[in-house]
Structure 1
Amino acid sequence: MSERVTLFVYDLSHGMARTMSLGLVGRQIDAIYHTSVVIFGREFFYGQGIMSAIPGTTPHGQPIERVDLGETEIPQEVFMEFMDNMRETYTADAYHLLDNNCNNFSNDVCQFLVGRSIPDRITSLPADFLNTPFGQSMRPMIEGMFGPSRHEASPSPSPFSLPAAAPTNSFSTPSTAITTTGGATVPFMTDLSLLRSTIQNNTATVVYFTSATCPPCRVIAPIYDELVLAKGSQIKGVKVDIGMAQAIGRAYEVRSTPTFMFFLRGEKFSQFSGADQAELRSSIDLLIYSAHPAHPHALLSLRQYKELSGTPIVFNALDKIDPVFAKLKSFLPTEAGLSEADIKQLDKIQVWLSKRATAKATQTPEPTMGELGPSWKPLLTKIGSILPYENQFPLLDILRMLVLHARVAEVYAKDGNQTLINAFKAVASHGNEGSKPAALMTLRIACNAFSTPLLGTYVLSSAARESTKQLLVTTLLSTVDQQRQTAASLAFDISVRVAESRSRAKDTVHPSLSGDILEDLEEDWNMECLSAIAAALEKETSEEILHRLVASIANFIYMEESYSGAVLMNILGVPDVLREMVSNKIIKSANIVGLCQELQEMIRTAVEAQAKSS
């Protein structure tokens, strides 16, 4: 389904540019532009990194213009994956007033969504400004704050040019000016409302108040930068020059510089004045400890757990291609309605997979997507609609092999026909009494989805996660060993993504834009998966399957903030089940026994921590 894309255009000068620019810079400037992109019910913009908000609620007020850029067919999950990649480019430290600002970000987003650029009058403003006498005089100071600009240098300003002064407006969010001292530095803020918002939206914040005429500030500044940047995942640091941001200085009653103020969950925690390095270090450490007390799992020695592979389990065999296609063709009824072109297309898929298998074995170039044929996906969909469920397993096996290819996986991640979702639902609807080969091949498809980040994200996205859970829950208790083993592999693959998401540093200012779809997983969904895994664990007798189930539970509950998964496992008696299995020699391997013991400790310490906090 298509989604409308709108560009919000703001004037950060609130009309002052239009009225004063001619006299000040020698040419008419209509606005100091800031832009954002509205898509999927959110407003995305670049400030302290990539941010998002409910449209029209950002600190920039109301837009002066809304530009309709058309509609996009790109799904929300794919867009969020793109945002995740963009966060590596549009970081707070990478902000540049002239070269890498909010308007560059909006332009890149619009190019991705609809293939269109934002209006030239916005993107050309920095160059136009630098071509004025005032812009030439301001350039040294701007480059001193942000680093060299890619815009062509203008001739040196005349001695009679206007004197350089601190800018009162910017081409983007006014809070993101960066000092540069040869390395990464902490951002300056000049806007009071954004500073307050930052303090409120971060668990731990330290604000360094400085001034240009303060010699001790120049001594302590690089120490402050080093400390804050080294602990960037635990604390948010900003700087305020009270000469440039007098309103902030008055609001926080700063009477001397340097002054350091520490905030915990939006409330002032402590402060001190002076360039005391030891006090600065200890104050930052105390704030971090108060904001992020050590998780009980961090205090455990978890050697077996830490040695678990973080690589998903996939089924990548490509050695039985011809028999699979022969079986599929034998199932196709003569009156199926396949045309001669359909048969040729099916043969192309077979040849393409065979070439890919050969390329992998000989480490030679793989066949191109063009060689797969123009109608491979519609044909597979058509065949799926013809065959009864019990005869679909060779078709599903072909799909298992295809989704191992990144480009094919991308096609199914953007699939409007919901091919994978429907396949997962079919297993759940037929239950354990349905076609066991079809269920097995569907499980392997689900595991192989995790071979590429995009498709792995899709099967856990809001569109597909319920059917993925149904597939897992249905098959974990199967009477077929091979099916249970593959279901346990799927449980492990899901748990790996959950653990990865939890370990990734979060955007504490705008957590809704941390870039990973798994952060939006409902706790109920996690608990239902864990309940099914625990039920399968209690009945299982295969040590290999038990190993995957134990590893899955460990991934689900390791370092979880709410402790809810560990508490649930304790209620369901998982520690007792593990002790009994080890005691009865159902689990004998030393590494698995060690993992079971570590999981019991993870559950125990989390339950105790939850009891203390409640």
Structure 2
Amino acid sequence: MYHLLDFNCNSFTNDCVGFLTGQSIPAWIQDLPSDFLSTPFGAALRPTIDAMFRRPAPGTANPPAQPSPQAAAAAAAAAPDPALASTLLQAVAAQAFATDGAPSTSSLTQSAQSVTEAASSETATAPIHMCTNPTSFHNTLRTHRAVVAFFTSQTCPPCRMIEPTFERLAHEKTQAAGIGGGGGIAFVKVDIGAGMGHAIGAEYGVRATPTFIFFKDSSKTHQMSGADVAELKTQVDFLLWEAYPPHPHTQKSLPSLDSVSTDPILFTQVPNLDVVLNKLSSFIDSTNPPIPSSAKTALSAEVIPALKARFTFNSTAKSGPSPSTTVLNKWTEITRTLSVPLPAAQLFPLVDLWRLALLDGAVGVFCASASGGSADPIQMLLVKALALLSGAPDAARNYFLTLLRLLSNAFAFPALARTLLSGMGKRKSVTSLLVHSLLHADSPVRTAAASLAFNVAAFIQKERLEQVRRRYGPFATSEEDGDWEVEVISAVLEALQNETQSEDVVHRLTACLAFLLRFSPVYDSQIGSLLEVLQAKDTLKSKLAPGGCGVEGVKSSNLRKLITQVADNLC
């Protein structure tokens, strides 16, 4: 079966040329798909192309899964001309999913056809890659950190015996560990009797099947022959250990840190909603020029009743139905209307209503889906806060306090939390607010900021811990991520140094620091030297001494143990 990226006309032409002449077509032609996929548009479009060519197995009636509108939109947005790209993508999708047939089948040779048909249900991100010529094999080596190549043939009984084990390992080690695809691990199957598979085998000295060859960074590291299941498993694990060695901190014992819950700190108090509405209404009425009365009417007639139906004053239990999408859309419009004319000192009641609403799952989903768009209420409120940082932030103490609590509540839902930490857009805004608030003169503001810092670090810790539990993972990170981590850790250490009043703040900041340091992908390259320059160990242990936090220093025995373990093992 034809595949636009992996088994296309270039692949078939190359096989034919090799069969007839022993040569190959020029590399710049063979590598066109790879060159295309190296562009932002190609990378965004790849899942869509894969979905177009993912066909059901013979005899099944299930139609192929069509690409999602979100994937198509992302692909178009990555192109230099999004409008043109969207039009082209729709045309390609329509052709690929036409009911009058699937993409055409090559008839070069019977053996080549059998291989390509077997690959028709695979995709470029599938656990097993089918390679029929040296070019596709070398491309796989070049684009993956680790490769396990299985050289097989149709007439080899031992190959059929060990093939299920190979396929199971491919699924376990790529999908479960989440490191398949570009830069991760690839499991490759090469039939030496199909296409130019014999040329790949000859290049690496394969004289019998089954043979397994292991590669790291395109270099051969080991070769084994025969259907030895135990040896295959051992060598795959060893390859992964070499390619993705466990983080050095996995060997450190930190029982006090292990006992700290990674559940987010939430602000669940339900205020008297009538009092909040009256306060906000008085601020609206005093605005000059006046704000349209429709905003206040919608608040009293739609938003407040919806919140009252869901939340009960002075109770943490949720009772009635969640606010409807209609109400949330209306509320977002009200937020846009009020966020510009009202000063921050008068806008905090509206922020507190959103803070409460984010305790509801439906509201969390709504805000996550709106993230980054023109209808994103959290972004609107963040923009207001950032404008204050360069002005007179102390005058907006209540606004900062309620917004920090709102952002902390956002971590009740992973999808929404991820939008706050992904990319450099909203994450940059959240970080600027957090860094400023950690050093605020007001103790409740510092407590809320420490809570948000804890939630951020705990969320990151959960994802890193999953990689560690699987024993390996790509602990690489982008330069922007490393710089962000340095900025946050520096701010947390400065806040710890200055905090001499609240044990709660010290506890949250210490746990935050520990979560960020423990499995940091840039610990050796960036964080270790930073900790020495900032004297992190001394800063932490100073909290234990008289005057470090209160007159006698930290009193809690659990917190003292945590501080000691973090200082001695991670700093």
Separation of aligned partners in 2, 1:287 and 1:392: 57
Write the mapping of 1:66-81 to structure 2, written as runs, cut at 5 A: none
Tell me the alpha carbon deviations over residues 387-426 of structure 1, each in whole angstroms, 9 at most, x when there is no partner: 2232222232223234442254146514327403313303
Q: Contact (CA 8 Å) 2:264, 2:455: kept in 1 or not? A: yes
Matched, 1:378 2:333: yes
Change (3 A) 1:464 1:447: same
Once the two structures are TM-superposed, the CA of residue 480 in structure 1 deviates from its matched residue by 1.2
| TM-score, normalised relative to structure 2 | 0.74
Change (3 A) 1:193 1:313: farther
- SS of alignment partner, residue 534 of structure 1: helix
Distance 2:68 2:369 in 1: 26
Q: What is the CA deviation profile of residues 417-439 of structure 1, one whole-angstrom value per residue up to 9, with x for unaligned ones?
A: 74033133034224553321122
Q: Which of these residues, 97, 101, 116, is aligned with residue 128 of structure 1?
A: 101
Query: What secondary structure does 1:493 align onto?
Result: helix
- Whole-Å Cα distance in 2 between the matches of residues 177 and 456 of structure 1? 30
Q: Is the 8 A contact 1:207 1:262 kept in 2?
A: yes
Amino acid at match of 2:264: P
Kept in 1, the 8 Å contact 2:55–2:120? The answer is no
Contact 2:149 2:213 in 1 (8 A): yes
- Aligned partner of 1:213 in structure 2 is 155
Secondary structure at the aligned position of 2:188 is classed as strand
Q: 1:200 — aligned with what?
A: 142
The answer to whether structure 1 residue 299 and structure 2 residue 236 are counterparts is no
Cα distance 1:108–1:415, how it changes in 2: closer, same or farther (>3 A)? closer
Where does 1:518-533 land on structure 2 (aligned, <5 Å)? 521-533=480-492
Q: CA deviation at 1:108?
A: 7.7
Alignment partner, residue 557 of structure 1: 517
> Which residue number corresponds to residue 539 of structure 1?
498
Q: Which piece of structure 1 moves more, 247-256 or 480-489? A: 247-256
| Structure 2 SS opposite 1:208 | strand
Inter-partner Cα distance in structure 2 for 1:457 and 1:376: 23
Q: 1:310 and 1:97, CA in 2 relative to 1: closer, same or farther beyond 3 A?
A: farther
Instruction: Say if 1:287 and 1:383 are closer, same or farther in 2 by CA, change over 3 A.
Output: closer
Match of 1:346 in 2: 299
- Contact 1:103–1:122 at 8 Å: present in 2 too? no
* Structure 2 counterparts to residues 156-171 of structure 1, below 5 A: 166-167=112-113, 170=116
User: Under a length normalisation based on structure 1, what TM-score does the superposition of the two structures give?
Assistant: 0.69
What residue number does 1:452 align with? 413
Paired residues for 1:354-373 under 5 Å: 354-358=308-312, 361=317, 363-371=319-327
Q: Pick from 387, 411, 424: which aligns with 2:342? A: 387
Distance in structure 1 (CA, Å) of the matches to 2:435 and 2:207: 63
Measured at CA, do residues 430 and 322 of structure 1 come closer, stay the same or move farther in structure 2, by a change above 3 Å? Answer: farther
Gap regions ≥5 residues in structure 1: 1-7, 21-33, 53-88, 139-162, 179-183, 605-614
Q: What is the DSSP-based 3-state SS (H/G/I as helix, E as strand, rest coil) of the residue aligned with 1:479?
A: coil
Distance 1:110 1:567, change over 3 A: same
Structure 1 partner of 2:193: 243
Partner of 1:489: 451
CA distance in 2, matches of 1:462, 1:102: 35
Of the three residues 251, 262, 276, the one matched with 2:228 is 276
Distance 1:39 1:489, change over 3 A: farther
Give deviations 1:238-269, integer Å, cap 9, x for gaps: 22221123343344342211111111122111
The Cα of 1:519 is off from its aligned counterpart by 6.3
The worse-fitting range, judged by mean Cα deviation, of 254-263 and 268-277 is: 268-277
Give the structure 2 partner of residue 409 of structure 1.
367
Structure 1 stretch displaced more, 94-103 or 590-599: 94-103
Are the structure 2 counterparts of residues 308 and 15 from structure 1 closer, same or farther at C-alpha, using a change threshold of 3 Å?
closer
Match of 1:43 in 2: 43
CA contact (8 A) 1:101 1:172 kept: no
Other structure's SS at 1:260 match: strand
Contact 2:309 2:320 in 1 (8 A): no
Give 1:594's match in structure 2, choosing from 561, 564, 567: 561
Asked if the contact 1:543–1:586 (Cα under 8 Å) also holds between the matched residues in 2, the reply is no
| Structure 1, 344-353 or 531-540: larger mean CA deviation | 344-353
2:543 is matched with 581
Alpha-carbon RMSD across the aligned residues, in angstroms, is 4.4
- Partners of 1:194 and 1:593 in 2: CA distance: 57
1:377 maps to a residue whose letter is T
Residues 211 and 107 (structure 1 numbering): CA distance in 2 closer, same or farther, change over 3 Å? farther
Deviations 1:103-137 (A, max 9, x none): 83478833898896854432237x7369x9x99xx
Give the share of equivalent positions with the same residue, in percent: 28
- Are 1:176 and 2:122 an aligned pair? yes
Amino acid across the alignment from 2:333: P
Q: Would you say the 8 A contact 1:37–1:110 is kept in 2?
A: no
Letter in structure 1 aligned against 2:150 = Y
Q: Distance in 1 between matches of 2:466 and 2:63?
A: 25
TM-superposed CA distance for 1:475, in Å, is: 0.9
Cα 1:387/1:285, change in 2 over 3 Å: closer
* 2:370 matches 1:397: no
1:97–1:557: structure 2 CA closer, same or farther, 3 Å change rule? Answer: farther
Counterparts of 1:378 and 1:361, CA distance in 2: 28
User: Secondary structure of 1:592's match?
Assistant: helix
CA 1:448–1:97 in structure 2 vs 1: closer, same or farther (change >3 Å)? Answer: same
The 3 A distance-change label for structure 1 pair 406 and 284 is: closer
Cα separation, 1, equivalents of 2:369 and 2:242:
47
Could you give the per-residue CA deviations for residues 17-67 of structure 1, whole angstroms, max 9, x where no partner exists? 9xx9xxxxxxxxxxxxx9x99997443355xxx499xxxxxxxxxxxxxxx
* Aligned with residue 382 of structure 2, among 402, 407, 421: 421
Distance verdict in 2 for CA 1:560–1:421, change over 3 Å: same
Residues 129 and 186 of structure 2 are in contact (CA less than 8 Å); yes or no, is this contact kept in structure 1? Answer: no
CA distance in 2, matches of 1:321, 1:521: 42
Distance in 1 between residues matched to 2:127 and 2:169, nearest whole Å: 10
Contact persistence 2:438–2:449 (CA under 8 A): yes
Contact 1:262 1:271 in 2 (8 A): yes
